[in-house]
Amino acid sequence: MNTPHRSDDELPRLIHLHAGQVIALPATAASGLRVLQGRVWLTRCGDPDDHFLDAGQQLHLRGDDQVVIEAERGPARCLLLSPADTTPLREALASGA
């Protein structure tokens, strides 16, 4: 199984996925995943929903989330985000936007 290129302490962290490649991300201090290129399928423990994210979209993660992502229909690039990187996302969710 492939793992992200940098240590868990370093955020944001760039993740490159080949078409159809699946990786499991360990629970980290990351509080978001932003898709930069392509489309990904994401599932996480305790969440009954699967998520499909396209380039430009992001999803809030909890610190204890165990996440599995797969590149759909071609290669994908994603960023694991630190809490500071996801502040606008958290504010939009809190306001109901």
Q: Is the residue at 55 inside a domain?
A: yes
77: closest CA among 44, 50, 54? 54
pTM of the model: 0.74
Q: Is the residue at 7 inside a domain?
A: no
Q: Is the residue at 5 inside a domain?
A: no
What's the number of domains the chain is made of?
A: 1
List the CATH number of the domain containing 74.
Answer: 2.60.120.10
Q: Is the residue at 34 inside a domain?
A: yes
Average pLDDT over the chain, rounded to an integer: 80
Whether 4 shows a pLDDT value over 70: the answer reads no
CB 18 within 8 A of CB 72: no
Contacts of 17 (CB under 8 A, 6+ apart): 23, 38, 40, 69, 70, 71, 75, 76, 77, 78
Q: Count CB atoms within 10 A of the CB of residue 78.
A: 28
Q: Is the residue at 72 inside a domain?
A: yes
Q: Is the residue at 23 inside a domain?
A: yes
pLDDT in tens, 46-76: 889 999 999 999 998 877 778 999 999 999 9
For 53, the domain range is 13-95
C-alpha span between 3 and 1 (Å, rounded): 7
Q: Is the residue at 3 inside a domain?
A: no
